[in-house]
Amino acid sequence: MITRRQALLSSLFGTGLVGLRALATGLPASFLLDPRRALADMPASGCPDASKAQFIIFNTSGQGDPINANVPGTYEDADVVHSADPTMSPTKLTIGGKTLTAAAPWATLPQAVLDRTCFWHLMTNTPVHPKEPDVLKLMGSTYAGEMLPSLLAKQLAQCLGTIQAQPLCLGATTPAESLSFGGSALPIIPALALKSTLTSVAGPLTDLQPLRDETLNSLYDLYKNDATPAQKAYIDALVTSQREVRNLDQKLLDSLSSITDNSPASQMLAAVTLIQMKVTPVLSVHIPFGGDNHRDVGLADESAQTVAGVQTIATLMQLLDGAGLSDRVLFASLNVFGRTIGPGNADGRQHNENHQVSITIGKSIRGGVIGGISPVAKDYGATAIDSKTGLSSSNGDIPAGDTLASYGQTLLAAVGVDPSVVDTQVISGKVIVGALS
């Protein structure tokens, strides 16, 4: 019988745990699976713009959090209802040289992070919680019904040399938040399960050094007799030294050992650790930002969770900076829908199919605000967007109904996916050129 531990290891490191050998040696898993073919194909091709390729930490929620109620782009209209809690007071901040207004927690992010932060005003066109998988499929706009995290992972896996192409789900709180890849459901791997599996006395990270030596010894004849000088130089540049492996396994063990729960902070630590291990290009997490707050008196939950949520993002950015990954990771979010923000929403908010705000933080997307809001059906909805500037415009060439698909197209473009591939993978919307740095 396959134990749960074996199943989890297989999910992380593939059949035969080839991913562990890749981690121990520094050689791509594709090379270890078929060394002779890999030699013929070196160096790896199929990466249109490797300089833009980034890992992605994808925050998603089927709760429909009220992120859209407290971000830049919603403070210009006096009728929009914001939390009156002192911790959420309207505060000036600067992004991309422009002075904007948002709830106070956003202004606590370091300026270097704010300079890379973009707030996207989008329309998901659904008020239904279980439609989260459909929103991740960009409401029918993706090829073969693939989810956006999986589309991104498929395109990035080769460029990043990850162990697997499938994304990993670390933080799903409901079945609707789980991911699929190629039509198959993916497992949810909580942070504590990851810790217990990888840090046990007999865990895989305790055997990296002997695994490295064993794997390289098995490749020695091929390396010595069949590889050209150029191929040998390529392999030598990838191979991890014994000292590097020793430092790596200790760092990974230390990081994982500090996980104490499945909280958002622990999810961030697990995500960064898995990126360091090059397991997958995309990891999904769940950071609460107020949840389904129909009866949220005084918007108390919204306020507390927004403060905590922004702090979690700040913690993530600190972890990335400490790991030297600030330029290698893009943070992106997408919720099933946003909340109503018009008059009458001071003690709770309803579902808003017309307005949801996504957040991105990374080197490849220009900091600022994409799109905006206007009155819709006694509340507010996302406006049309000018694809050249990213600005809200009543005459924008991206209508509100296409803003979700355009978000997906722009994320693909931001991480270096070829334009012809972007057009075939997301069949509606446009790349928002004004959002790209």
Is the pLDDT at 23 greater than 50? The verdict is yes
Q: Quick one: pLDDT at residue 9?
A: 78
Of residues 253, 290, 274, 324, the one with CA closest to residue 82: 290
The answer to whether residues 383 and 396 touch, using CB atoms and an 8 Å cutoff, is: yes
Alpha helices in 370-430 (DSSP H): 403-414, 419-425
What pLDDT is recorded for position 1?
47
Predicted TM-score (pTM) of the model is 0.92
- What pLDDT, on a 0 to 100 scale, did the predictor assign at position 82? 97
pLDDT tens per residue across span 204-230: 777 788 888 888 998 888 888 888 888
Which residue spans within 286-378 are E strands per DSSP?
A: 329-335, 338-339, 351-352, 356-361, 368-370, 373-376
Cα 333 to Cα 68: distance, rounded to the nearest angstrom: 12
**292-315 core/surface letters (b: 16 or more CB in 10 A; e: else):** bbeebeebebbbbbbbbbbbbbee
Report whether pLDDT(200) > 80. no
Token digits for 177?
């938040």
| Beta strand 168-169 pairing with 98-103 | unpaired
pLDDT at 16 over 80: no
pLDDT digits (tens, 9 = 90+) for 257-271: 899 999 999 999 999
Identify the band that residue 43 occupies on the pLDDT scale cut at 50, 70 and 90.
Answer: low
| CA 231 – CA 417 distance, rounded (Å) | 27
Contact present, 261 and 192 (Cβ < 8 Å):
yes
More confident residue, 29 or 333: 333
Q: Considering the chain, what is the average pLDDT of its residues?
A: 91
In 188-228, which ranges are continuous DSSP H helix? 191-198, 208-226
Measured between alpha carbons, how far is 181 from 157 in angstroms, rounded to an integer? 13
Q: Which CATH superfamily is domain 46-190+262-435 in?
A: Alkaline Phosphatase, subunit A (3.40.720.10)
The per-residue pLDDT for range 311-370, each reduced to its tens digit, is 999 999 999 999 999 999 999 999 999 999 999 888 999 999 999 999 999 999 999 999
Alpha-carbon distance 252 to 12, whole Å?
15
On the CB side of 388, how many CA atoms lie within 13 Å of its CA?
Answer: 3
Backbone angles phi, psi at 108, to 5 degrees: -80, -15
Length of the chain: 437
CB–CB of 247/323 below 8 Å? no
Closest CA relative to residue 25, chosen from 272, 176, 185, 209 = 209
Longest dimension (CA), the chain: 76
The Cα–Cα gap between 170 and 28 comes to 24
Structure tokens at 93: 């901040």
Q: How confident is the model at residue 42 (pLDDT cuts 50, 70, 90)?
A: low
Distance between CA atoms of residues 423 and 280, nearest Å: 24
How far CA 295 is from CA of 88, 286, 289, 305, 349, in Å, comes to 19, 22, 15, 15, 7
Total Cβ atoms within 10 A of residue 29: 21
Identify the CA nearest to 331 among candidates 183, 163, 120: 120
**Separation of alpha carbons 284 and 178, rounded Å:** 9
CA atoms of 293 and 66, how far apart (whole Å) = 8
* Weakest-pLDDT range from 59-63, 123-127, 247-251, 353-357: 247-251
Residue 111, helix vs strand vs coil:
helix
DSSP state of 207: G
